[in-house]
């Protein structure tokens, strides 16, 4: 299938996005901004063109390994997702979240895969272990501010991990662009991948028609580049998720292939993170003050200006009370535990600077964004 190219217009449009609850109630207007009328369509076209292929390995509870949307059960409450994951009245249709930003030389596409459960350690045993750890923390009067208790093999409600796909532009058509770098999240570790000869500390990624092949582990759902080696595949069954523009139900697919649809973070996860104080913690349990962030923005005269953006307090952990409390995070709150001292969120908010640093790139790699991202409003 041929992917649409990018067509840009100079016209402007005032756009207001309103979030509506599953019961039909208005939650509130959450965004009003000047947008190019085809900005959202262009972002989707880019995300669709380079949408990864997910090799989802299945554990002993396959339904808990299905990739789906946070509100698969018709509401945005995080604390009932563990329970509802077992209820076949709620199909776990295939969705993947995305977010796109663009510099003068590259596209940066964040993809996030959501699962209602992380059941590493086993659904029952992992849940019991999580409850024991939680009770110990309560009685000891201490917390786990690092979030590293997630590495203790505990189960928890909600799970989100993903990848950043970096695409080098080649003229105005997305058809000529090429994936050049990938970073994946695997349990608070970012893993870098490239093409060609990879130096020590870097892996290689594979593509089919510029769609990166990703491996999603069973139970814990950490994501790596798919290699097809015995470590990833031996003794495992898989569902293979490919972008089709249609959110298919894995329970109804017989050949192991599942088509998925894309969901923009811009109108789903992000607005609810910004209205965290109004939804009484149904979706996001905790806030993090991201403070002020500076990014480079290309100007019409060809110069680069530094734009300071006040992010402030944003929802940073999903509400979940089965197993480990509130352990899953949205992409702007992901972190690499080896760089825990860094300000939270740089991987999401300023991916160009992070990729330039991680891959040791020269000045030909632009870190100046051609437009302000949606989260800067």
Nearest to 80 by CA among 23, 158, 159, 161: 158
- Percent with pLDDT over 70 in the chain: 80
Specify if 27 maps to a domain: no
How many other CB atoms are there within 10 angstroms of residue 274's CB atom? 20
Q: Decide if 360 contacts 201 (C-beta within 8 A).
A: no
What digits encode the pLDDT tens for the residues 317-352? 999 999 889 999 999 999 999 998 899 999 999 999
Specify if 2 maps to a domain: no
Question: Over the chain, what is the mean pLDDT?
Answer: 85
SS3 category, 43: helix
d(C-alpha 175, C-alpha 3), whole Å: 7
d(C-alpha 247, C-alpha 259), whole Å: 6
What digits encode the pLDDT tens for the residues 74-109? 999 999 999 999 999 999 999 999 999 999 999 999
129-156 burial, b if ≥16 CB within 10 A, otherwise e? bbbebbeeeeeeeeeeeebebbeebbbb
What digits encode the pLDDT tens for the residues 253-275? 989 999 999 999 999 999 999 97
The pLDDT of residue 368 is: 98
- Percent with pLDDT over 90 in the chain: 73
The pLDDT-based confidence of 279 (bands split at 50, 70, 90) is low
Domain housing 91: 40-376
**For the chain, how many structural domains are there in total?**
1
The pLDDT of residue 280 is: 66
DSSP labels, 97-119: EEEEEEBSSEEEEEEEEEEEEE-
What digits encode the pLDDT tens for the residues 127-160? 545 454 455 545 554 455 445 454 445 899 999 9
The pLDDT of residue 175 is: 86
DSSP labels, 47-89: HHHTPPEEEEEE-SSGGGG--B-TTTTSS--GGGHHHHTT-TT
pLDDT at 358 exceeding the cut of 90 = yes
Specify if 5 maps to a domain: no
For 18, the token pair is: 């309103």
Specify if 9 maps to a domain: no
The pLDDT of residue 154 is: 80
Specify if 6 maps to a domain: no
Specify if 110 maps to a domain: yes
Specify if 23 maps to a domain: no
Q: Decide if 223 contacts 53 (C-beta within 8 A).
A: no
The pLDDT of residue 278 is: 58
Nearest to 60 by CA among 119, 11, 108, 3: 119
Specify if 319 maps to a domain: yes
Distance of CA 124 to the CA centre of its chain: 27
């Amino acid at each position: 299938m041929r992917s649409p190219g990018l067509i840009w217009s100079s016209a402007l449009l005032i756009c207001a996005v309103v979030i509506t609850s599953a019961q039909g109630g208005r939650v509130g207007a959450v965004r009003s901004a000047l947008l190019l009328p085809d900005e959202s369509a262009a972002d989707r076209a880019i995300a669709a063109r380079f949408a990864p292929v997910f090799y989802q390995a299945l554990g002993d509870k396959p339904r808990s390994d299905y990739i789906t949307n946070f509100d698969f059960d018709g509401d945005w409450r995080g604390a009932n997702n563990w329970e509802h994951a077992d209820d076949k009245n709620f199909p776990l249709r295939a969705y993947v979240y995305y977010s796109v930003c663009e510099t003068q030389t590259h596209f940066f596409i964040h993809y996030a895969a959501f699962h209602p459960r992380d059941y590493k350690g086993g659904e029952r045993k992992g849940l019991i272990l999580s409850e024991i750890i939680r009770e110990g923390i309560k009685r000891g009067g201490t917390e786990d501010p690092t979030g590293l208790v997630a590495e203790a093999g505990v189960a928890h409600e909600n799970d989100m991990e993903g990848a950043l796909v970096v695409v080098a532009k080649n003229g105005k058509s997305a058809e000529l662009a090429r994936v050049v770098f990938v970073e994946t999240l695997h349990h608070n570790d970012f893993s870098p991948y490239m093409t060609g000869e990879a130096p020590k500390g870097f892996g290689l990624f594979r593509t089919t028609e510029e769609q990166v092949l990703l491996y999603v582990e069973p139970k814990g759902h950490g994501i790596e580049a798919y290699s097809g080696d015995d470590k990833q595949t031996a003794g495992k069954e898989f569902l293979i998720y490919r972008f089709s523009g249609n959110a298919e139900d894995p329970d109804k697919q017989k050949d192991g292939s599942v088509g998925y649809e894309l969901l923009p973070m811009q109108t789903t996860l992000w607005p609810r993170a910004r209205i965290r104080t109004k939804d009484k913690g149904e979706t996001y349990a905790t806030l993090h003050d991201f403070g002020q962030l500076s990014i480079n923005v290309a100007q019409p005269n060809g110069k680069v200006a530094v734009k300071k953006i006040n992010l402030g307090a944003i929802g940073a952990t999903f509400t979940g009370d089965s197993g480990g409390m509130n352990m899953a995070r949205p992409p702007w709150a992901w972190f690499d535990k080896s760089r825990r001292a860094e300000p939270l969120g740089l991987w999401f908010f300023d991916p160009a600077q992070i990729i330039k640093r991680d891959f040791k790139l020269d000045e030909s790699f632009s870190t100046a964004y051609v437009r302000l991202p949606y989260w800067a409003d």
